[in-house]
């Protein structure tokens, strides 16, 4: 019976204990008896904390076999600053409570809606540190929406382990003086070995950052890994603000906008002293649309139309940077220079070598005109340029430049340009082009100990125009070599071919200092060119041609000249030149300049001759002087059986202003009659047909495109005209 009572007592006791444990585990006991104990323990941790609580709930934690003391909505003040703590939990061993030791093994504190300004007020009271400085100077606005601190303590209340998690909302973070990231929101969890951050969202001057994440592992080394998405939609003012510290005048002068998205991934590895050991950054995405509107259109002789805007669209972007020297930047998409259709392009910047290189591959979106070889691309066909180049000590080194368009191809190998865009070195140039499906260029240039130019054809239609340009840029300034040219055929603007063209000479600092060239138009028609220095170190150029129009067709003044023999002499140096042009026994056909004068002079019959079989001249002589400011035409004298002309004047180089004046003598029959008058005729005219004492005075003056010609119907000839005409005719005889 006693045993049954004992068993029953034990069973009841165990049942009661079980019920109490179950009750304490799931329901808990609310009491205020432990308030003082909790408050005293908190004050032991920091006496500046003022804590006021109403009730404490006691629960039994079955998992930890500990008593759990918790309170909700306590009033916490730290140095007169209210701390928004919403819950405090403390764990203690049952044995320590029974022994009245009141030891705390674990404490959990939950903060909610902690404003950044309040955090900064608390930071003022902590010891000076970099962390304190950062909190005070680099954060503003926003709040800590939630932060849960879970610390484990030893018997002396020292922290032996911790966990922290929470979330931030719309905080502005200053990274640098001009770099402020706005509306930063994120979730985080951290312990002494690992920190995880996710759901990162932020904004930075037109860039929206979303879905960011980051992990920080603390072992022997510190490893940081992360990724985030970014969307950008820049207008010109936002781009100016973004790059304002770089003082980029290009962005200030022009309108730039861009729209797209990127996915970024990165990894950093440092030692415990934060010395960088390893890193990697990857980014890929696309530029939906980007446009640059130029304030001043870009113009160049190479491109047919001025460029007003540059746009790219549907462009994939890839970036890869790491310390293994496998770095890459790649663009691939569509571009447009203002034309009617987009063209593909691909740019790769390979940073993996000691000398970074660029590779470009693009289809041309505009027509390009290479005047030196008279070749024009057609953007409606597939015109493509590929090139590989590098920047070395302010120089640009092109390993190759390869242009193709159907059967047309231009290939340049090993081209080196200095910072002034002058050629330092070049290996080979190969050119094969067609004009209206007819081959017009087929030659090769090789730069070795000599410069060799060999091939079947070269289109020299605009060669003289290029050579006569007043261009201060000498691309070949650094080239000094002997030159040898052998070409089967040269095409000229007059369509008169030059055959078997041979030239030997020497280039000194990009300019010919001597040369000798020969070619033939036909078996009995030749071209000779020579250049040499005289005793005063001036260069003397002589050109003789049996067909003047082959050389003069580029110049409007000589338009319409047929036949005759051409001789050109010029002595020149860096300061200027003195030149003489002489053409003998030629005809003028369909010459606009002459026809204008004759029409104004009311000489319709002679004008008809110009448009028919042509007007014959015995001679034309032109004497010129040229300096940096202007070309002075000392004299132009043309003598013919039907008309003679004498003029002088100048052409201003800077403005292009033309100013010429002279006399035209058309009255062949009148002069013949006057010349038959005894004594008087011999004195006034002489016995040579074509000389006269009456003529027409004219003036030609104006800027390019605005030139006007005026004629005074009757003019008595000056003695100078008569003297020069007589001298010239005597010389011809």
Per-residue pLDDT tens digits for 71-111: 888 888 877 778 888 888 888 776 665 555 567 788 888 88
3-state class (DSSP) for residue 603 = coil
Cα–Cα distances in angstroms (integers) from residue 69 to residues 34, 35, 40, 93, 106, in the given order: 9, 10, 14, 11, 10
pLDDT given for residue 669 in this prediction: 39
Percent of residues, the chain, with pLDDT higher than 90 = 20
Burial class (CB in 10 A: 0-12, 13-18, 19+), 672: middle
∠ CA 365-371-439, nearest 5°, is 90
The H or E element spanning position 281 is strand 276-298
Residue 24: pLDDT over 70: no
What pLDDT is attached to residue 650?
92
pLDDT digits (tens, 9 = 90+) for 264-308: 999 988 887 778 888 899 999 998 888 888 878 877 777 777 888
Burial of 140 (0-12, 13-18, 19+ CB in 10 A): middle
Check residues 152 and 690 and name the one with the higher pLDDT.
Answer: 152
CA 377, CA 368: separation in Å to the nearest integer?
Answer: 5
Q: How far is the C-alpha of 384 from the C-alpha of 391, rounded, in Å?
A: 23
**What are the residues whose beta carbons fall under 8 Å from the beta carbon of 120, sequence distance 6 or more?**
135, 136, 139
pLDDT the model gives residue 686: 47
Paired residues of 282 in beta bridges: 265, 320
- Kindly write down the DSSP assignment for every residue of 402-436, as one continuous string: EEEETTEEEEEEEEEE-TTS-EEE--EEEEEEEET
pTM over 0.75: no
Domain boundaries, the chain: 2-104, 193-338, 581-732
User: 351-405 pLDDT, tens per residue?
Assistant: 777 778 899 999 988 888 888 899 998 878 889 999 999 988 888 999 999 999 9
What's phi and psi for 276, nearest 5 deg? -65, 125
Instruction: Using the CB atoms, write b or e for 119-128: b if 16+ within 10 Å.
Output: beeebeeeee
Helical H segments across 74-181, by residue range: 94-98, 116-124, 130-138
């Amino acid at each position: 019976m006693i045993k049954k009572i004992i068993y029953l007592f034990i069973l009841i006791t165990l049942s009661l204990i079980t019920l109490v444990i179950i009750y304490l585990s799931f329901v808990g006991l609310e009491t205020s008896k432990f308030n003082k104990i909790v408050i005293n323990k908190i004050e032991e941790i920091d006496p500046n904390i003022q804590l006021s609580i109403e009730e404490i709930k006691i629960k039994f934690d079955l998992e930890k076999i500990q008593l759990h003391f918790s309170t909700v909505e306590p009033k916490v003040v730290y140095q007169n600053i209210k701390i928004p703590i919403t819950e405090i939990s403390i764990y203690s061993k049952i044995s320590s409570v029974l022994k009245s030791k009141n030891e705390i093994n674990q404490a959990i504190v939950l903060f909610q809606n902690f404003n950044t300004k309040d955090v900064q007020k608390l930071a003022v009271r902590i010891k000076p540190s970099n962390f304190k400085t950062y909190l005070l100077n680099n954060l503003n606005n926003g709040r800590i929406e939630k932060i849960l601190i879970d610390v484990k303590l030893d018997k002396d209340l020292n922290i032996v382990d911790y966990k922290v998690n929470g979330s931030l909302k719309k905080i502005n973070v200053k990274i640098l003086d001009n770099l402020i990231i706005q509306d930063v929101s994120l979730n985080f969890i951290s312990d002494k070995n690992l920190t995880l951050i996710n759901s990162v969202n932020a904004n930075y001057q037109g860039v929206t950052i979303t879905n960011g994440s980051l992990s920080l592992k603390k072992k022997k080394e510190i490893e940081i890994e992360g990724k985030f998405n970014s969307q950008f939609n820049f207008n010109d003012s936002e781009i100016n603000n973004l790059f304002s510290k770089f003082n980029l005048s290009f962005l200030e002068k022009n309108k730039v906008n861009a729209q797209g998205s990127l996915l970024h991934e990165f990894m950093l590895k440092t030692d415990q002293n934060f010395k960088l050991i390893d890193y990697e950054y990857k980014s890929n995405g696309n530029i939906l649309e980007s446009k640059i509107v130029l304030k001043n259109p870009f113009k160049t002789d190479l491109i047919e139309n001025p460029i007003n805007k540059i746009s790219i669209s549907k462009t994939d972007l890839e970036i890869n940077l790491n310390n293994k020297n496998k770095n890459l930047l790649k663009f691939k998409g569509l571009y447009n220079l203002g034309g009617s259709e987009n063209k593909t392009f691909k740019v790769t910047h390979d940073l993996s070598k000691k000398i970074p290189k660029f590779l470009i591959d693009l289809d041309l979106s505009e027509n390009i005109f290479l005047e030196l070889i008279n070749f024009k691309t057609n953007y409606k066909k597939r015109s493509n340029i590929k090139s590989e180049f590098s920047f070395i000590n302010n120089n640009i080194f092109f390993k190759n430049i390869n242009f193709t368009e159907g059967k047309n191809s231009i290939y340049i190998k090993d081209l080196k340009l200095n910072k002034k865009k002058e050629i330092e070195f070049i290996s080979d140039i190969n050119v094969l082009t067609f004009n209206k499906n007819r081959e017009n260029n087929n030659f090769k240039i090789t730069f070795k100990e000599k410069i060799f130019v060999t091939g079947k054809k070269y289109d020299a239609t605009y060669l003289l125009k290029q050579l006569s340009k007043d261009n201060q840029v000498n691309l070949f300034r650094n080239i000094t070599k002997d030159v040898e040219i052998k070409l089967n055929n040269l095409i000229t603007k007059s369509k008169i071919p030059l055959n078997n063209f041979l030239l030997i000479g020497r280039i000194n600092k990009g300019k010919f200092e001597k040369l000798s060239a020969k070619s033939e138009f036909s078996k009995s028609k030749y071209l000779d060119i020579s250049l040499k220095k005289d005793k005063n170190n001036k260069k003397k150029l002589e050109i003789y041609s049996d067909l003047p129009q082959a050389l003069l067709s580029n110049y409007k003044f000589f338009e319409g000249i047929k036949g005759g023999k051409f001789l050109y002499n010029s002595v020149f140096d860096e300061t200027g030149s003195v030149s003489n042009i002489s053409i003998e026994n030629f005809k003028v056909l369909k010459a606009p300049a002459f026809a204008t004068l004759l029409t104004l002079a009311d000489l319709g019959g002679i004008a008809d001759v110009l448009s028919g079989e042509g007007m014959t001249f015995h001679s034309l002589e032109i004497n010129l002087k040229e300096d940096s400011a202007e070309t002075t035409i000392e004299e132009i004298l043309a003598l013919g059986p039907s008309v003679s002309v004498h003029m002088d004047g100048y052409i201003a180089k800077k403005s292009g202003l033309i100013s010429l004046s002279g006399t035209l003598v058309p009255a062949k029959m009148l002069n013949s009659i006057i010349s038959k008058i005894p004594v008087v005729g011999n004195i006034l005219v002489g016995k040579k047909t074509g000389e006269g004492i009456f003529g027409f005075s004219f003036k030609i003056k104006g800027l390019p495109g605005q030139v006007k010609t005026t004629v005074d119907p009757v003019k008595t000839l000056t003695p100078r005209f008569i003297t020069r005409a007589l001298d010239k005719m005597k010389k011809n005889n």
